[in-house]
Structure 1
Amino acid sequence: MCEQRQTMIVTGNGAIHAEPDQGTIQIGITTHAEQLTDAQAENTERSKSVVDRLTALGIQQSEIQTSHFSVSPQYDYIDGQQRFRNYEVQHQLHVTVKDISKIGEIIDAAVQSSATEVSAVQFGISNSSELYEHALSKAVQNAQTHAKALAHEAEVVLNQVPLHIQEEAGNSVMPYPIQMAKMSAAPGIEPGTLEIQATVTVTYSYR
Protein backbone atom coordinates (compact mmCIF):
# COMPACT_ATOMS: atom_id res chain seq x y z
CA MET A 1 0.00 0.00 0.00
CA CYS A 2 1.34 3.39 -1.06
CA GLU A 3 2.27 5.78 1.74
CA GLN A 4 0.18 8.94 1.59
CA ARG A 5 2.32 11.94 0.70
CA GLN A 6 2.38 14.69 3.34
CA THR A 7 2.55 18.24 2.05
CA MET A 8 2.98 21.77 3.35
CA ILE A 9 2.19 25.07 1.60
CA VAL A 10 4.32 28.13 2.31
CA THR A 11 4.37 31.68 0.99
CA GLY A 12 7.56 33.45 -0.01
CA ASN A 13 8.09 37.17 -0.57
CA GLY A 14 10.90 38.98 -2.34
CA ALA A 15 11.53 42.66 -2.94
CA ILE A 16 14.00 44.74 -4.91
CA HIS A 17 14.46 48.48 -4.34
CA ALA A 18 15.63 50.70 -7.18
CA GLU A 19 15.60 54.34 -8.18
CA PRO A 20 13.08 55.22 -10.91
CA ASP A 21 14.50 56.37 -14.23
CA GLN A 22 11.31 57.48 -16.00
CA GLY A 23 7.93 58.99 -15.22
CA THR A 24 4.52 59.70 -16.69
CA ILE A 25 2.27 62.71 -16.19
CA GLN A 26 -1.43 63.10 -16.95
CA ILE A 27 -2.21 66.64 -18.11
CA GLY A 28 -5.73 67.94 -18.71
CA ILE A 29 -7.06 70.85 -20.75
CA THR A 30 -10.74 71.67 -20.19
CA THR A 31 -12.63 74.50 -21.93
CA HIS A 32 -16.21 75.78 -21.89
CA ALA A 33 -18.23 77.91 -24.32
CA GLU A 34 -21.85 78.34 -25.34
CA GLN A 35 -20.94 77.48 -28.93
CA LEU A 36 -19.37 74.09 -29.52
CA THR A 37 -17.03 75.42 -32.20
CA ASP A 38 -15.72 78.04 -29.75
CA ALA A 39 -15.10 75.47 -27.01
CA GLN A 40 -13.29 73.20 -29.46
CA ALA A 41 -11.24 76.02 -30.94
CA GLU A 42 -10.11 77.24 -27.53
CA ASN A 43 -9.24 73.70 -26.44
CA THR A 44 -7.22 73.14 -29.60
CA GLU A 45 -5.31 76.39 -29.06
CA ARG A 46 -4.60 75.61 -25.40
CA SER A 47 -3.57 72.05 -26.16
CA LYS A 48 -1.17 73.26 -28.84
CA SER A 49 0.30 75.75 -26.37
CA VAL A 50 0.92 72.97 -23.84
CA VAL A 51 2.44 70.62 -26.42
CA ASP A 52 4.68 73.36 -27.84
CA ARG A 53 5.94 74.19 -24.35
CA LEU A 54 6.65 70.54 -23.58
CA THR A 55 8.53 69.93 -26.83
CA ALA A 56 10.59 73.06 -26.12
CA LEU A 57 11.67 71.34 -22.90
CA GLY A 58 12.89 68.30 -24.82
CA ILE A 59 9.82 66.04 -24.73
CA GLN A 60 9.43 64.18 -28.04
CA GLN A 61 6.12 64.27 -29.92
CA SER A 62 5.98 60.46 -29.67
CA GLU A 63 6.06 60.80 -25.87
CA ILE A 64 2.90 62.96 -25.83
CA GLN A 65 -0.29 61.00 -26.49
CA THR A 66 -3.97 61.80 -26.20
CA SER A 67 -5.41 59.46 -23.57
CA HIS A 68 -8.93 60.92 -23.50
CA PHE A 69 -11.00 63.42 -25.50
CA SER A 70 -14.64 64.23 -24.90
CA VAL A 71 -17.29 66.80 -25.78
CA SER A 72 -20.38 67.11 -23.62
CA PRO A 73 -23.18 69.66 -23.10
CA GLN A 74 -23.50 71.05 -19.57
CA TYR A 75 -26.84 71.83 -17.96
CA ASP A 76 -28.16 73.67 -14.93
CA TYR A 77 -31.27 72.46 -13.13
CA ILE A 78 -33.42 75.37 -11.97
CA ASP A 79 -36.87 74.80 -10.45
CA GLY A 80 -36.87 71.28 -11.87
CA GLN A 81 -36.11 72.57 -15.35
CA GLN A 82 -33.06 71.50 -17.34
CA ARG A 83 -31.38 74.52 -18.89
CA PHE A 84 -28.44 74.42 -21.24
CA ARG A 85 -25.35 76.18 -19.83
CA ASN A 86 -22.47 75.50 -22.25
CA TYR A 87 -20.36 72.88 -23.93
CA GLU A 88 -17.41 71.30 -22.19
CA VAL A 89 -14.43 69.94 -24.11
CA GLN A 90 -11.90 67.78 -22.25
CA HIS A 91 -8.53 66.77 -23.60
CA GLN A 92 -6.21 64.53 -21.55
CA LEU A 93 -2.54 64.13 -22.49
CA HIS A 94 -0.39 61.24 -21.31
CA VAL A 95 3.22 62.44 -21.21
CA THR A 96 6.25 60.17 -20.80
CA VAL A 97 9.28 61.80 -19.21
CA LYS A 98 12.65 60.09 -19.71
CA ASP A 99 14.56 62.63 -17.57
CA ILE A 100 12.80 62.60 -14.19
CA SER A 101 14.87 65.53 -12.95
CA LYS A 102 12.68 67.68 -15.24
CA ILE A 103 9.31 66.50 -13.94
CA GLY A 104 8.73 69.49 -11.65
CA GLU A 105 9.70 71.90 -14.42
CA ILE A 106 7.42 70.12 -16.90
CA ILE A 107 4.44 70.24 -14.54
CA ASP A 108 4.96 73.95 -13.96
CA ALA A 109 5.38 74.63 -17.68
CA ALA A 110 2.19 72.71 -18.54
CA VAL A 111 0.09 74.59 -15.99
CA GLN A 112 1.55 77.97 -16.92
CA SER A 113 0.85 77.32 -20.61
CA SER A 114 -2.92 76.74 -20.26
CA ALA A 115 -3.29 73.23 -18.81
CA THR A 116 -6.17 73.19 -16.32
CA GLU A 117 -5.10 70.16 -14.30
CA VAL A 118 -2.33 67.70 -13.57
CA SER A 119 -4.01 64.57 -12.29
CA ALA A 120 -1.00 62.44 -11.28
CA VAL A 121 2.64 61.63 -11.68
CA GLN A 122 3.77 58.03 -11.75
CA PHE A 123 7.38 56.91 -11.58
CA GLY A 124 8.68 53.77 -13.21
CA ILE A 125 11.77 51.73 -14.01
CA SER A 126 12.66 50.93 -17.59
CA ASN A 127 14.21 47.53 -16.79
CA SER A 128 11.48 46.53 -14.32
CA SER A 129 11.06 43.05 -15.88
CA GLU A 130 14.68 42.16 -15.15
CA LEU A 131 14.40 43.48 -11.59
CA TYR A 132 11.16 41.57 -11.06
CA GLU A 133 12.95 38.33 -11.99
CA HIS A 134 15.44 39.03 -9.18
CA ALA A 135 12.58 39.70 -6.75
CA LEU A 136 10.92 36.45 -7.87
CA SER A 137 14.11 34.51 -7.19
CA LYS A 138 14.30 36.01 -3.71
CA ALA A 139 10.65 35.04 -3.12
CA VAL A 140 11.36 31.39 -3.96
CA GLN A 141 14.38 31.38 -1.65
CA ASN A 142 12.26 32.97 1.09
CA ALA A 143 9.61 30.24 0.68
CA GLN A 144 12.28 27.55 0.94
CA THR A 145 13.62 29.13 4.15
CA HIS A 146 10.12 29.05 5.65
CA ALA A 147 9.64 25.44 4.63
CA LYS A 148 12.97 24.38 6.18
CA ALA A 149 12.11 26.17 9.43
CA LEU A 150 8.69 24.47 9.62
CA ALA A 151 10.21 21.05 8.87
CA HIS A 152 12.83 21.56 11.57
CA GLU A 153 10.25 22.53 14.18
CA ALA A 154 7.98 19.62 13.21
CA GLU A 155 10.93 17.20 13.16
CA VAL A 156 10.17 15.94 9.68
CA VAL A 157 12.36 15.48 6.60
CA LEU A 158 11.66 18.03 3.87
CA ASN A 159 11.90 17.15 0.19
CA GLN A 160 13.64 20.31 -1.01
CA VAL A 161 12.38 19.92 -4.58
CA PRO A 162 8.98 21.70 -4.64
CA LEU A 163 5.90 19.90 -5.88
CA HIS A 164 4.33 23.13 -7.13
CA ILE A 165 5.18 26.85 -7.34
CA GLN A 166 2.41 29.41 -7.89
CA GLU A 167 3.39 32.96 -8.78
CA GLU A 168 1.02 35.58 -7.37
CA ALA A 169 0.07 38.80 -9.14
CA GLY A 170 2.72 41.49 -8.79
CA ASN A 171 2.15 44.84 -7.17
CA SER A 172 1.70 48.08 -9.10
CA VAL A 173 3.38 51.44 -8.58
CA MET A 174 1.12 53.99 -6.93
CA PRO A 175 0.86 57.42 -8.58
CA TYR A 176 2.18 60.52 -6.86
CA PRO A 177 -0.70 63.02 -6.41
CA ILE A 178 -0.20 66.61 -7.51
CA GLN A 179 -2.16 69.62 -6.28
CA MET A 180 -4.33 70.84 -9.14
CA ALA A 181 -3.65 74.55 -9.01
CA LYS A 182 -1.52 77.22 -10.61
CA MET A 183 2.02 77.03 -9.30
CA SER A 184 4.36 80.03 -9.02
CA ALA A 185 7.42 77.78 -9.16
CA ALA A 186 8.27 74.30 -10.29
CA PRO A 187 7.15 71.85 -7.60
CA GLY A 188 9.81 69.80 -5.86
CA ILE A 189 8.98 66.20 -6.77
CA GLU A 190 11.07 63.61 -4.96
CA PRO A 191 10.77 60.18 -6.63
CA GLY A 192 12.66 58.35 -3.86
CA THR A 193 12.97 54.64 -4.54
CA LEU A 194 10.47 52.12 -5.85
CA GLU A 195 9.89 48.65 -4.48
CA ILE A 196 9.32 45.79 -6.90
CA GLN A 197 7.68 42.89 -5.09
CA ALA A 198 7.15 39.24 -5.96
CA THR A 199 5.12 36.64 -4.07
CA VAL A 200 5.00 32.89 -4.59
CA THR A 201 3.06 30.05 -2.98
CA VAL A 202 5.11 26.85 -2.88
CA THR A 203 4.01 23.31 -2.07
CA TYR A 204 6.58 20.93 -0.56
CA SER A 205 6.35 17.29 0.40
CA TYR A 206 7.87 15.85 3.55
CA ARG A 207 8.13 12.56 5.44
Structure 2
Amino acid sequence: MASSSSTCTNNNRKLRVHASDTCILGAAGTLSLLSIVYLLSIVTNSSNGDAYAQHYNTPPQLTNHSSLLQKTYNNITILSDAGTATTKVKPDKVTLILGVETTNQTAKAALSTNSATMNKVLNVLLSAGVKQNETSTSAFSISPNYNYSQGRNIITGFTVTNSIQIESSKINDTARWIDTAISSGGATTVSSIDFKLSDKKLQEIKNSLIKQAIDNARSKADIAASALGLKVLGIKSMYLNEFEQPPTFPQPFLQKQSLATQAGANGTPIISGQQDVSVSVSTDWLMK
Protein backbone atom coordinates (compact mmCIF):
# COMPACT_ATOMS: atom_id res chain seq x y z
CA MET A 1 0.00 0.00 0.00
CA ALA A 2 1.48 3.24 -1.06
CA SER A 3 1.81 5.91 1.58
CA SER A 4 0.19 9.28 0.95
CA SER A 5 2.35 12.32 0.65
CA SER A 6 2.09 16.06 0.23
CA THR A 7 4.21 18.30 -1.92
CA CYS A 8 5.23 21.91 -1.19
CA THR A 9 6.93 24.14 -3.65
CA ASN A 10 9.45 26.73 -2.46
CA ASN A 11 11.61 28.68 -4.90
CA ASN A 12 11.02 26.11 -7.60
CA ARG A 13 12.23 23.36 -5.22
CA LYS A 14 9.96 20.50 -4.28
CA LEU A 15 9.81 19.28 -0.68
CA ARG A 16 8.05 16.00 -0.08
CA VAL A 17 6.80 15.25 3.44
CA HIS A 18 5.22 11.96 4.32
CA ALA A 19 2.02 11.95 6.37
CA SER A 20 3.63 9.89 9.15
CA ASP A 21 6.31 12.57 9.60
CA THR A 22 3.65 15.28 9.85
CA CYS A 23 1.89 13.42 12.68
CA ILE A 24 5.12 13.08 14.63
CA LEU A 25 5.90 16.80 14.34
CA GLY A 26 2.37 17.74 15.40
CA ALA A 27 2.51 15.51 18.45
CA ALA A 28 5.87 16.99 19.52
CA GLY A 29 4.49 20.50 19.23
CA THR A 30 1.47 19.61 21.32
CA LEU A 31 3.65 18.06 24.02
CA SER A 32 5.86 21.16 24.11
CA LEU A 33 2.84 23.43 24.52
CA LEU A 34 1.46 21.24 27.31
CA SER A 35 4.85 21.25 29.05
CA ILE A 36 4.98 25.06 28.99
CA VAL A 37 1.44 25.31 30.39
CA TYR A 38 2.29 22.79 33.12
CA LEU A 39 5.49 24.62 34.11
CA LEU A 40 3.63 27.92 34.24
CA SER A 41 1.00 26.39 36.51
CA ILE A 42 3.73 25.05 38.84
CA VAL A 43 5.45 28.43 39.04
CA THR A 44 2.14 30.17 39.70
CA ASN A 45 1.06 27.70 42.37
CA SER A 46 4.51 27.77 43.98
CA SER A 47 4.47 31.56 44.11
CA ASN A 48 0.99 31.58 45.64
CA GLY A 49 2.01 28.93 48.14
CA ASP A 50 5.04 30.93 49.30
CA ALA A 51 2.93 34.05 49.77
CA TYR A 52 0.34 32.05 51.67
CA ALA A 53 2.97 30.57 54.01
CA GLN A 54 4.60 33.92 54.56
CA HIS A 55 1.28 35.53 55.40
CA TYR A 56 0.33 32.97 58.01
CA ASN A 57 3.64 31.58 59.20
CA THR A 58 5.37 34.85 60.03
CA PRO A 59 4.32 36.09 63.48
CA PRO A 60 3.45 39.77 63.81
CA GLN A 61 6.21 42.10 64.97
CA LEU A 62 5.14 44.43 67.77
CA THR A 63 7.18 47.56 68.25
CA ASN A 64 5.31 49.36 71.02
CA HIS A 65 6.35 48.02 74.43
CA SER A 66 5.21 50.92 76.57
CA SER A 67 1.53 49.98 76.89
CA LEU A 68 -0.86 47.05 76.68
CA LEU A 69 -1.16 45.89 73.07
CA GLN A 70 -2.96 42.85 71.73
CA LYS A 71 -2.65 41.02 68.43
CA THR A 72 -3.85 37.55 67.41
CA TYR A 73 -1.95 35.06 65.28
CA ASN A 74 -3.10 31.48 64.60
CA ASN A 75 -5.30 31.58 67.72
CA ILE A 76 -2.33 32.81 69.79
CA THR A 77 -2.69 36.30 71.27
CA ILE A 78 0.44 38.37 71.81
CA LEU A 79 0.10 40.96 74.57
CA SER A 80 2.74 43.66 75.12
CA ASP A 81 3.07 45.40 78.46
CA ALA A 82 5.67 46.93 80.79
CA GLY A 83 6.65 46.29 84.39
CA THR A 84 8.54 48.62 86.72
CA ALA A 85 10.20 48.47 90.12
CA THR A 86 11.63 51.45 92.03
CA THR A 87 13.35 51.89 95.36
CA LYS A 88 15.06 54.64 97.34
CA VAL A 89 18.61 53.95 98.51
CA LYS A 90 20.94 55.90 100.75
CA PRO A 91 24.15 56.78 98.85
CA ASP A 92 27.36 55.14 100.01
CA LYS A 93 29.88 57.44 98.31
CA VAL A 94 30.64 61.17 98.54
CA THR A 95 32.67 63.50 96.34
CA LEU A 96 33.66 66.72 98.10
CA ILE A 97 35.50 69.64 96.49
CA LEU A 98 36.95 72.37 98.69
CA GLY A 99 39.74 74.88 98.16
CA VAL A 100 41.86 77.79 99.19
CA GLU A 101 41.81 81.23 97.55
CA THR A 102 44.48 83.83 98.32
CA THR A 103 45.18 87.31 96.95
CA ASN A 104 48.37 89.39 97.10
CA GLN A 105 50.09 92.16 95.21
CA THR A 106 52.43 89.73 93.45
CA ALA A 107 51.74 86.31 92.00
CA LYS A 108 54.66 84.85 93.96
CA ALA A 109 53.35 86.09 97.29
CA ALA A 110 49.80 84.92 96.52
CA LEU A 111 51.09 81.48 95.49
CA SER A 112 53.30 81.13 98.56
CA THR A 113 50.43 81.91 100.92
CA ASN A 114 48.06 79.62 99.04
CA SER A 115 50.48 76.69 99.04
CA ALA A 116 51.13 77.00 102.76
CA THR A 117 47.41 77.09 103.52
CA MET A 118 46.55 74.19 101.21
CA ASN A 119 49.26 72.00 102.76
CA LYS A 120 47.77 72.75 106.16
CA VAL A 121 44.30 71.81 104.89
CA LEU A 122 45.61 68.50 103.56
CA ASN A 123 47.36 67.70 106.83
CA VAL A 124 44.32 68.33 109.01
CA LEU A 125 42.13 66.29 106.66
CA LEU A 126 44.53 63.36 106.80
CA SER A 127 44.45 63.61 110.58
CA ALA A 128 40.63 63.63 110.44
CA GLY A 129 40.51 60.28 108.60
CA VAL A 130 40.78 61.18 104.92
CA LYS A 131 43.07 58.71 103.14
CA GLN A 132 45.89 59.86 100.89
CA ASN A 133 44.52 57.94 97.89
CA GLU A 134 41.11 59.60 98.34
CA THR A 135 42.41 63.09 97.51
CA SER A 136 43.35 64.69 94.20
CA THR A 137 43.70 68.18 92.72
CA SER A 138 40.44 69.40 91.24
CA ALA A 139 41.45 72.83 89.91
CA PHE A 140 44.32 75.31 90.10
CA SER A 141 44.62 78.85 88.71
CA ILE A 142 46.60 82.08 89.02
CA SER A 143 44.93 85.18 87.61
CA PRO A 144 45.62 88.94 87.75
CA ASN A 145 43.18 91.37 89.31
CA TYR A 146 42.41 94.56 87.38
CA ASN A 147 41.15 97.99 88.33
CA TYR A 148 39.75 100.04 85.50
CA SER A 149 40.90 103.62 86.01
CA GLN A 150 41.41 106.58 83.70
CA GLY A 151 40.56 104.60 80.57
CA ARG A 152 42.89 101.67 81.19
CA ASN A 153 43.13 98.48 83.22
CA ILE A 154 45.67 98.51 86.02
CA ILE A 155 46.84 95.28 87.67
CA THR A 156 46.25 95.59 91.39
CA GLY A 157 47.28 92.10 92.45
CA PHE A 158 46.97 88.37 91.81
CA THR A 159 44.59 85.67 92.99
CA VAL A 160 45.57 82.02 93.38
CA THR A 161 42.92 79.32 93.68
CA ASN A 162 43.68 75.69 94.50
CA SER A 163 40.92 73.10 94.94
CA ILE A 164 41.13 69.47 96.01
CA GLN A 165 38.67 66.66 95.51
CA ILE A 166 37.91 64.00 98.11
CA GLU A 167 36.21 60.76 97.06
CA SER A 168 35.34 58.51 99.96
CA SER A 169 32.83 55.96 101.22
CA LYS A 170 32.78 57.61 104.67
CA ILE A 171 29.80 59.80 103.92
CA ASN A 172 29.01 60.34 107.60
CA ASP A 173 32.33 62.17 108.02
CA THR A 174 31.55 64.76 105.34
CA ALA A 175 30.36 67.50 107.72
CA ARG A 176 33.28 66.96 110.06
CA TRP A 177 35.80 67.16 107.21
CA ILE A 178 34.30 70.43 106.01
CA ASP A 179 34.42 71.92 109.51
CA THR A 180 37.99 70.73 110.04
CA ALA A 181 39.23 72.00 106.67
CA ILE A 182 37.76 75.46 107.31
CA SER A 183 38.34 76.02 111.03
CA SER A 184 41.68 74.24 111.42
CA GLY A 185 43.13 74.23 107.92
CA GLY A 186 42.06 77.58 106.54
CA ALA A 187 40.01 76.42 103.52
CA THR A 188 37.98 79.27 102.02
CA THR A 189 35.67 77.57 99.48
CA VAL A 190 33.39 74.52 99.34
CA SER A 191 32.29 74.29 95.73
CA SER A 192 30.65 70.87 95.48
CA ILE A 193 29.21 68.02 97.54
CA ASP A 194 28.00 65.04 95.51
CA PHE A 195 26.45 61.95 97.11
CA LYS A 196 26.00 58.88 94.92
CA LEU A 197 25.91 55.10 94.85
CA SER A 198 29.05 53.09 94.26
CA ASP A 199 29.03 50.90 91.14
CA LYS A 200 28.93 47.73 93.23
CA LYS A 201 25.96 48.76 95.36
CA LEU A 202 24.10 50.19 92.37
CA GLN A 203 24.40 46.91 90.47
CA GLU A 204 23.23 44.93 93.50
CA ILE A 205 20.13 47.13 93.79
CA LYS A 206 19.34 46.83 90.08
CA ASN A 207 19.67 43.04 90.20
CA SER A 208 17.16 42.87 93.06
CA LEU A 209 14.71 45.09 91.14
CA ILE A 210 14.74 43.04 87.92
CA LYS A 211 12.64 40.23 89.41
CA GLN A 212 10.20 42.73 90.91
CA ALA A 213 9.78 44.43 87.52
CA ILE A 214 9.15 41.09 85.78
CA ASP A 215 6.62 40.10 88.45
CA ASN A 216 4.89 43.45 87.92
CA ALA A 217 4.68 42.86 84.16
CA ARG A 218 3.38 39.29 84.67
CA SER A 219 0.71 40.55 87.06
CA LYS A 220 -0.54 43.00 84.44
CA ALA A 221 -0.53 40.25 81.80
CA ASP A 222 -2.57 37.92 84.05
CA ILE A 223 -5.14 40.64 84.67
CA ALA A 224 -5.42 41.40 80.95
CA ALA A 225 -5.64 37.71 80.04
CA SER A 226 -8.42 37.16 82.58
CA ALA A 227 -10.38 40.08 81.17
CA LEU A 228 -10.03 38.61 77.67
CA GLY A 229 -10.94 35.10 78.75
CA LEU A 230 -7.43 33.85 77.94
CA LYS A 231 -4.51 32.30 79.78
CA VAL A 232 -0.85 33.29 79.70
CA LEU A 233 1.20 30.54 78.04
CA GLY A 234 4.65 32.07 78.31
CA ILE A 235 6.85 34.95 77.26
CA LYS A 236 7.87 35.77 73.69
CA SER A 237 10.43 38.54 74.27
CA MET A 238 11.68 40.96 76.92
CA TYR A 239 13.58 44.26 76.98
CA LEU A 240 15.34 45.57 80.10
CA ASN A 241 15.84 49.25 80.98
CA GLU A 242 17.69 50.67 83.98
CA PHE A 243 17.45 54.17 85.46
CA GLU A 244 18.95 56.04 88.37
CA GLN A 245 18.13 59.49 89.68
CA PRO A 246 20.74 61.17 91.87
CA PRO A 247 19.52 63.01 94.94
CA THR A 248 18.91 66.72 94.55
CA PHE A 249 19.89 69.24 97.17
CA PRO A 250 20.82 72.95 97.16
CA GLN A 251 24.40 74.02 96.62
CA PRO A 252 24.54 77.49 98.24
CA PHE A 253 27.42 79.81 97.56
CA LEU A 254 29.35 80.24 100.79
CA GLN A 255 31.04 83.58 101.37
CA LYS A 256 34.57 83.35 102.70
CA GLN A 257 33.69 85.48 105.70
CA SER A 258 30.87 83.16 106.76
CA LEU A 259 32.75 79.85 106.55
CA ALA A 260 34.71 80.19 109.76
CA THR A 261 31.60 81.32 111.64
CA GLN A 262 29.53 78.36 110.39
CA ALA A 263 32.27 75.85 111.13
CA GLY A 264 32.74 77.20 114.60
CA ALA A 265 29.04 76.84 115.42
CA ASN A 266 27.32 73.56 116.23
CA GLY A 267 28.70 71.92 113.08
CA THR A 268 27.75 72.16 109.46
CA PRO A 269 24.57 70.15 108.72
CA ILE A 270 25.19 67.92 105.68
CA ILE A 271 22.43 65.51 104.66
CA SER A 272 23.10 62.86 102.02
CA GLY A 273 19.46 62.22 101.12
CA GLN A 274 18.32 59.21 99.10
CA GLN A 275 18.71 58.16 95.50
CA ASP A 276 15.97 56.68 93.31
CA VAL A 277 16.87 53.53 91.38
CA SER A 278 14.40 52.07 88.86
CA VAL A 279 14.28 49.07 86.57
CA SER A 280 11.74 48.70 83.75
CA VAL A 281 11.02 45.68 81.53
CA SER A 282 9.01 45.63 78.30
CA THR A 283 7.51 42.20 77.65
CA ASP A 284 5.57 40.32 74.97
CA TRP A 285 3.38 37.53 76.40
CA LEU A 286 1.82 34.60 74.52
CA MET A 287 -1.83 33.92 75.39
CA LYS A 288 -4.50 31.51 74.30
Equivalent position of 2:280 in the other structure: 200
**Which residue of 56, 65, 90 maps to 1:9?**
65
Gaps of 5+ in 2: 1-54, 67-81
More displaced 10-residue stretch of structure 1: 72-81 or 23-32: 72-81
Query: Taking every aligned residue pair, what percent have the same amino acid on both sides?
Result: 22
Shift of 1:97: 3.7
Question: Is the contact made by 1:120 and 1:175 (CA closer than 8 Å) also made in structure 2?
Answer: no
* Counterparts of 2:222 and 2:149, CA distance in 1: 71
**Which residue of 151, 154, 158 maps to 1:87?**
158
- Alignment map for 1:38-49 (pairs within 5 Å): 38-49=109-120
Change beyond 3 A, Cα 1:145–1:43: farther
What is the SS of the residue equivalent to 2:163?
strand
Shift of 1:106: 1.1
Find out whether 1:115 has 2:181 as its counterpart: no
TM-score in terms of structure 2 length: 0.60
Find out whether 1:124 has 2:196 as its counterpart: yes
* Counterparts of 1:43 and 1:99, CA distance in 2: 27
Shift of 1:62: 1.0
| Cα offsets for 1:15-58 (capped at 9, x unmatched) | 23333344221112112223111121111111111111111111
What is the SS of the residue equivalent to 1:14?
strand
Change beyond 3 A, Cα 1:142–1:117: farther
Gaps of 5+ in 1: none
TM-score in terms of structure 1 length: 0.79
* Counterparts of 2:272 and 2:178, CA distance in 1: 14
Shift of 1:162: 4.6
Change beyond 3 A, Cα 1:160–1:106: same
* Counterparts of 1:22 and 1:189, CA distance in 2: 14
| Cα offsets for 1:153-201 (capped at 9, x unmatched) | 5666666425240425533344663562311232132334x23412435
Point out the structure with the larger strand share.
1
* Counterparts of 2:244 and 2:189, CA distance in 1: 30
Shift of 1:109: 1.0
Equivalent position of 1:134 in the other structure: 208
Question: Is the contact made by 2:236 and 2:286 (CA closer than 8 Å) also made in structure 1?
Answer: no
Equivalent position of 2:35 in the other structure: none
Shift of 1:123: 2.5
Equivalent position of 1:191 in the other structure: 272
Equivalent position of 1:172 in the other structure: 246
| Cα offsets for 1:104-135 (capped at 9, x unmatched) | 21111111121111123223344222122223
Higher-Rg structure is 2
More displaced 10-residue stretch of structure 1: 34-43 or 132-141: 132-141
Equivalent position of 2:17 in the other structure: none
Change beyond 3 A, Cα 1:148–1:69: farther
Change beyond 3 A, Cα 1:151–1:116: farther
Point out the structure with the larger helix share.
2
2:189 is matched by which residue type in structure 1? Answer: E
Equivalent position of 1:26 in the other structure: 97
* Counterparts of 1:92 and 1:158, CA distance in 2: 60
Change beyond 3 A, Cα 1:66–1:5: same
* Counterparts of 1:190 and 1:48, CA distance in 2: 28
* Counterparts of 1:78 and 1:144, CA distance in 2: 74
More displaced 10-residue stretch of structure 1: 54-63 or 70-79: 70-79
